[in-house]
């Protein structure tokens, strides 16, 4: 077929061919657009690796489940009594428990300070918004037949509603979050100071008993040595002569030995009494240690329950970054205090 001469209009066959080509291009563009629209509404993103589309096998599923679920072969979690016993046997365990209670109280104090400052700023902001909205509403109503007057009136009324809602939110936050946490912190701080005072007194009594025991032991040793010296005859003493009665020197030595023997018996009685006192103080110290560690653990758990139960920002929307977190919250503590069972505890007594 000869080519068309330049300057002449294309033949009908050429125009038909061009129309088919353009129609094919239009269909291709439409089909590509449909594919894009089908992928937009939340379809999973396809990766370039075709292996990702494979269905996991039984072995892969089993291996994944083994790593995902907690191992049953590991050590079982310790109970509260076992953790108390472990902390009691640790050197400085009571001081560590009291120090953690102090740290918890300081942490709650910082949370309360942040909540109070934030609530104060929110309340001040809400009052300012309501004030300018009320003034703007009055000014706008004084003008008649202005453009979009109704729309701006709705905006101002919306600001007034938001301000009132913010004030209610602050009041609810103070009632449901601030007050319970502040009350629990005050309780924990009160018991912590009392337990610390009790522990200090018990330690002082134990130290006094140990010092008294050492003094009594030293006194008993010294008097026993003195009795032994007095019981031995001096080489310079003359040999005893046969006489109807004891000599004056022998009488003095006998009296000296009797006095030393009496002092030894007195020192022994004092030493035995100090031993009994030290043993009693040791038992009191162990009982106080167990009581303080157990009560501090229960107090900390009560505080954790308050932190898990209360929620700041109660009226936040679900999509807001300040929305309350639903479900149980993870709690992290040091070894010996953080892995404790979360069980409700009744009110503690001294």
The 10 Å Cβ neighbour count of residue 260 is: 19
pLDDT of residue 338: 36
Give the C-alpha separation, 208 to 280, whole Å. Answer: 12
pLDDT of residue 102: 94
Nearest CA to 226 out of 268, 261, 267 is that of 261
pLDDT of residue 143: 80
Tracing tokens 């240690």 back to the chain, one arrives at: 289
**8-state DSSP, 300:** H
pLDDT of residue 260: 86
Task: Label residue 94 exposed, middle or buried (CB < 10 Å: 0-12, 13-18, 19+).
Answer: buried
Kindly report the pTM of this predicted structure: 0.58
Q: Which two tokens stand for residue 296?
A: 């501090």
Give the C-alpha separation, 203 to 286, whole Å. Answer: 10
Nearest CA to 282 out of 195, 200, 205 is that of 205
Mean pLDDT per 10-residue section of the chain, whose length is 350 residues = 47 58 57 43 43 45 41 65 81 91 94 91 92 88 82 90 90 87 94 94 94 94 88 57 65 84 91 94 93 92 87 47 40 37 38
């Amino acid at each position: 077929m000869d080519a068309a001469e330049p300057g002449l209009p294309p033949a009908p066959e050429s125009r038909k061919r061009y129309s088919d080509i353009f129609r094919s291009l239009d269909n291709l563009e439409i089909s590509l657009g449909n594919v894009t629209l089908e992928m937009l509404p939340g379809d999973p993103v396809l990766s370039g690796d075709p292996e990702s589309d494979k269905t996991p096998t039984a072995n892969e599923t089993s291996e994944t489940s083994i790593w995902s679920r907690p191992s049953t072969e590991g050590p079982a979690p310790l109970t509260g009594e076992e953790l108390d016993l472990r902390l009691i046997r640790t050197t400085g365990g009571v001081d560590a428990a009291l120090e953690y209670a102090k740290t918890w109280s300081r942490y709650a104090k910082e949370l309360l300070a942040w909540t109070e400052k934030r609530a104060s700023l929110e309340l001040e902001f809400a009052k300012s918004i309501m004030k300018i909205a009320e003034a703007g509403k009055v000014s706008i109503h004084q003008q008649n037949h202005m453009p979009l007057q109704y729309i701006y009136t709705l905006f101002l009324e919306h600001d007034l509603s938001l301000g009132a809602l913010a004030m209610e939110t602050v009041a609810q936050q103070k009632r449901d979050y601030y007050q319970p946490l502040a009350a629990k912190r005050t309780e924990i701080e009160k018991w912590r100071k009392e337990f610390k005072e009790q522990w200090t007194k018990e330690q002082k009594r134990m130290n006094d008993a140990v010092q008294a025991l050492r003094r009594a032991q030293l006194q008993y040793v010294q008097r026993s040595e003195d009795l032994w010296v007095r019981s031995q005859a001096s080489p310079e003493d003359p040999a005893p002569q046969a006489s109807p009665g004891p000599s004056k020197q022998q009488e003095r030595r006998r009296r000296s030995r009797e006095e030393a023997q009496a002092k030894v018996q007195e020192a022994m009685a004092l030493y035995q009494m100090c031993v009994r006192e030290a043993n009693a103080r040791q038992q009191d110290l162990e009982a106080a240690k167990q009581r303080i560690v157990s009560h501090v653990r229960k107090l900390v758990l009560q505080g954790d329950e308050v932190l898990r139960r209360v929620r700041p920002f109660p009226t936040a929307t679900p999509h807001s970054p300040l929305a309350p977190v639903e479900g149980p919250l993870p709690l992290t503590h040091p070894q010996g205090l953080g892995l404790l069972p979360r069980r409700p505890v009744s009110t503690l007594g001294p």
